[in-house]
């Protein structure tokens, strides 16, 4: 790692999301996708063309994934849907939380077998254990993988496909499960990392090719890199905004770390102190490489 890398962030586009989230690198089109959950927007940025596009979906949208065809699948407030950004139409696939009015979906990602995992939370009152983690399988059936979740976040799978890492934000923990790629089963939960509250609240997460976890810290002004095998913190990347929501690797060689942030909930004074809150940031040429994101195989 080059000296000085840790503070070498850049803003990507001159745009502040309310709640930027869910960064995803499209390896085919070489585009970074992310969402603004509260605005209900999908953002796309092409570094090659320096082009930023916003699609107004008109619904809360918490995460996107790509099919191999390039089509977009997403989690909206209550469940999974196909989103066609050419004609701006949505088609629900399954809404497992249609009956839970105070809930919305939150972070989501595809596993190495092409299933779409996404969890939920009570976004009105923040009620404890009101959410769950679901999986949309490739046959379009939905099952609940983890219940009694308060704020579902931070999904990652190890590159050998044996481990699943997960964050329920208020626990301050990253937990690991054994993962079976054939069946999608997870088992043997254990706590591998506990993040002190003074570092902020663990939110989104990605994994690099060395198997290390990069964890975004809400109210923490940073991304932390951790060794999930030892629980050791390796280093911190500092940002000029408090609400750091998620991160992923992108770019031709998957060595650029993209980081989403939020401005939602900040007061006047905080907004003045954090003029870049809600921006998308990038650390270019980190010297670390991410894994190619999985597509949805349904």
Tokens read off for 37: 């959950």
Q: In terms of CB distance, is 55 or 153 closer to Ca ion? A: 153
Q: Applying CB under 5 A, which of residues 55, 132, 150, 153 lies at the interface with Ca ion?
A: 153
- Min. distance of Cβ 28 from Ca ion in angstroms? 25
- Using alpha carbons, select from 73, 76, 15 the residue that is nearest to residue 275: 15
Residue 203 known to be catalytic: yes
- Min. distance of Cβ 158 from Ca ion in angstroms? 21
Rule CB under 5 A: which of 52-111 touch Ca ion? Answer: 107
Q: 203, 208, 252, 256: which is the annotated catalytic residue?
A: 203
Is 256 a binding residue for Ca ion by CB under 5 A? The answer is: no
The burial of 86, by beta-carbon neighbours within 10 Å (0-12 exposed, 13-18 middle, 19 or more buried), is given as: exposed
- Min. distance of Cβ 296 from Ca ion in angstroms? 19
Choices 52-60, 89-97, 146-154, 180-188; region in contact with Ca ion by CB under 5 A: 146-154
Choices 92-100, 152-160, 247-255, 270-278; region in contact with Ca ion by CB under 5 A: 152-160
Is 38 a binding residue for Ca ion by CB under 5 A? The answer is: no
Q: In terms of CB distance, is 103 or 298 closer to Ca ion? A: 103
Choices 95-103, 153-161, 174-182, 255-263; region in contact with Ca ion by CB under 5 A: 153-161
Choices 3-11, 49-57, 119-127, 198-206; region in contact with Ca ion by CB under 5 A: 198-206
- Min. distance of Cβ 153 from Ca ion in angstroms? 4
Q: In terms of CB distance, is 106 or 286 closer to Ca ion? A: 106
Q: In terms of CB distance, is 111 or 255 closer to Ca ion? A: 111
Q: Applying CB under 5 A, which of residues 41, 97, 122, 203 lies at the interface with Ca ion?
A: 203
Q: What is the DSSP string of the chain?
A: --TTGGG-EEESSS---SBEEEEEEETTTTEEEEEETTTTEEEEEETTTTEEEEEE-SS-EEEEEEBTTS-EEEEESSSEEEEETTTTEEEEEE-TTTT-TTEEEEEEEE-TTS-EEEEEEETTT--TT-EEEEEE-TTS-EEEEEEEESBEEEEEE-TTS-EEEEEEGGGTEEEEEEE-TTT--EEEEEEEEE--GGG-EEEEEEEBTTS-EEEEEETTTEEEEEETTTTEEEEEEE-SSSBEEEEEEESTTS-EEEEEEB-TT--HHHHHH-TTTT--EEE---S--BPPPPPB--
Q: In terms of CB distance, is 153 or 298 closer to Ca ion? A: 153
Question: Are 238 and 232 in contact, with CB atoms under 8 Å apart?
Answer: no
Q: In terms of CB distance, is 104 or 225 closer to Ca ion? A: 104
Size of interface with Ca ion, in residues (CB under 5 A): 4
Rule CB under 5 A: which of 101-120 touch Ca ion? Answer: 107
Is 41 a binding residue for Ca ion by CB under 5 A? The answer is: no
For 127, other C-beta atoms within 10 Å of its C-beta total 13
Residues that bind Ca ion (CB under 5 A): 107, 153, 203-204
**Hey, which residues are catalytic here?**
203
């Amino acid at each position: 790692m080059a000296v000085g890398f840790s503070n070498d962030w850049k803003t990507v586009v001159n745009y502040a999301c309310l709640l930027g989230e869910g960064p995803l690198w499209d390896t085919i089109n070489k585009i970074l996708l992310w969402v603004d959950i509260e605005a209900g927007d999908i953002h796309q940025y092409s570094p090659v063309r320096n082009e930023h596009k916003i699609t107004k979906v008109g619904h809360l949208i918490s995460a996107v994934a790509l099919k191999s065809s390039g089509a977009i699948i997403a989690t909206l407030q209550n469940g999974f849907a196909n989103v066609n950004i050419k004609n701006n139409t949505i088609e629900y696939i399954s809404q497992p939380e249609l009956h839970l009015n105070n809930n919305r979906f939150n972070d989501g990602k595809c596993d190495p077998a092409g299933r779409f995992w996404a969890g939920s939370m009570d976004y009105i009152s923040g009620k404890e254990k009101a959410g769950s983690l679901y999986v949309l399988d490739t046959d379009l059936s939905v099952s609940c993988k983890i219940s009694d979740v308060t704020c579902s976040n931070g999904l990652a799978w190890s590159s050998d496909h044996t481990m699943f890492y997960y964050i329920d934000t208020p626990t301050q923990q990253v937990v690991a499960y054994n993962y079976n790629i054939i069946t999608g089963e997870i088992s043997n939960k254990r706590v591998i990392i506990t993040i002190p509250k003074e570092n902020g609240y663990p939110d989104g997460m990605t994994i690099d090719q060395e198997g290390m976890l990069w964890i975004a810290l809400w109210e923490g002004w940073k991304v932390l890199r951790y060794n999930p095998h030892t629980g050791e913190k390796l280093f911190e990347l500092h940002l000029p905004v408090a609400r750091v929501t998620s991160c992923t690797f992108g770019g031709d060689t998957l060595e650029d770390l993209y980081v989403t942030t939020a401005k939602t909930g900040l007061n006047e004074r905080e907004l003045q102190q954090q003029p870049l809150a809600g921006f998308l940031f990038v650390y270019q040429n980190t010297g670390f490489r991410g894994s190619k994101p999985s597509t949805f195989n349904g």
